[in-house]
Amino acid sequence: MGGVAWTEEEDQLLKKCIERYGEGKWHRVPLLAGLNRCRKSCRLRWLNYLRPNIKRGSFAEDEVQLIIKLHKLLGNKWSLIAGRLPGRTANDVKNFWNCHLSKKLCARETEEECNQSAMNVETITPHPARSISMTGSTKQRTQDYHVAPNSLPAIKESSMSMPFNFFGVDQQGHDQLVKEERDIRVQEPAGGLFIGDLTTEDHRFGQFDEVNVLSRADEGCSKWDWDDLMLDMDLWTDSL
DNA sequence: AACTTATCCAACCGCCGCTAC
DNA sequence: AGTAGCGGCGGTTGGATAAGT
């Protein structure tokens, strides 16, 4: 291996130490646990191997698809990608990518490039059937999203009191307040971060070709980062 | 069976950003 | 403002194992 392998005894010592003192303060762990390992080794061993609920074994097809999608959006941000795959560690995801996906995708891309140039076909981006644009209060960013009805992700328990106003754009191009929502429910941290109440099934949205979601700047920002929010909008819409 | 090559993955290394002083 | 210490991250390494010849 890359270094000296951990023994069963060392694992037990580390596990007991974390159970007793909790995670964090890694600089103290070697001393507290009585281990002849550096803080980084202890942290890594815990995060990648000893931590409860770590999923072992091969990646399921849906996990693979999610990794590909996330990597497209985030690049080599393994910890962020792993954060959205319950039970998977950043190291697992990174290894899996390096061993399996990078080669596979590279081969596929080369093949596609050959096909493209051979056929001289122009790629056409489909026009969204219905779009949603979002504007954050702290980081201005607007983008159109394709939203298909009845295909929204499941909502898990969590919430943030971030006020949003839903504006519909009518046929004359005028904004109309459709809905005011305070509690935007989200899924976090491991399974992603989705806006829960943004639903085109809402009959009030049906009359509009476009819905704008605007946070109210006067209320400040929540603990969730807009980048996360936007990422999940990307994921959500990309999967449709 | 013996050897070589490829693949997997745990562990290490160096860097970065944050925080406290 | 500068610096040290820390946690965290991504890239890399190299031993173990599987697959191929």
Kindly report the CA angle at A172 between A168 and A177, in degrees rounded to 5?
Answer: 25
Query: Rounded CA gap, A112 and A13, in Å?
Result: 51
Shared fold status for A8-50 and A61-119: yes
- Closest residue, CA to C1' of C12: A2
For chain A, domain boundaries: 8-50, 61-119, 131-238
- Out of A89-93, A169-173, A187-191, A215-219, the most confident range is A89-93
Straight-line distance from CA A15 to C1' C19, in Å?
Answer: 36
Looking at every residue in chain A, the average pLDDT score rounds to 60
> Would the pTM of this model clear 0.85, i.e. be above it?
no
CA–CA distance, A146 with A211 (Å, rounded to integer): 11
Q: Is A205:A199 a contact under the CB 8 Å cutoff? A: yes
Phi/psi at A131 (5° precision): -115, 155
CB of residue A43 closer than 7 A to nucleic acid strand B? Answer: no
Tell me which of A69-83, A85-99, A157-171 is least confident. Answer: A157-171
CA–C1' gap, A54 and B18, in angstroms: 28
Residue A57 predicted with pLDDT over 70:
yes
Which residue would you say has higher pLDDT here, A124 or A108? A108
> pLDDT value at position A106?
62
Looking at the domain A61-119, which fold is it?
Arc Repressor Mutant, subunit A (1.10.10)
Task: Give nearest nucleotide to A3 (CA–C1').
Answer: B11
**According to the CATH classification, is domain A8-50 in 1.20.120?**
no
For the cut 70, the answer to whether the pLDDT of residue A171 exceeds it is no
